[in-house]
Amino acid sequence: MEKADTYLQRHNASETCTSARDEGTESEVQRENEEKTRECLICLSPFPSAWAGERICRRCKSSARWRSGALG
């Protein structure tokens, strides 16, 4: 019986951790989608970034060097 009790305790504890982690993930997703002023990784100028992965400004992305793949 002792092994079964230990399993149930661990199983219940992992469910608690999972639900707490899920709640945190939801707020992180919302935060990633916020518009924010970021610094361009190429020219270092601040620009309005629409999402967390947007790190290159439009001016740099429109350059011939960026389009040719010379940067990146």
Residues in contact with 58: Cβ distance below 8 Å, sequence separation at least 6, in sequence order: 47
Please tell me the pTM assigned to this model: 0.53
Determine the average pLDDT of the residues in 27-53. 86
pLDDT tens per residue, range 49-67: 999 999 999 999 999 989 8
Report domain extents, the chain. 2-68
In this prediction, residue 70 has a pLDDT band, given cuts at 50, 70 and 90, of: confident
Residues in contact with 43: Cβ distance below 8 Å, sequence separation at least 6, in sequence order: 57, 59, 60
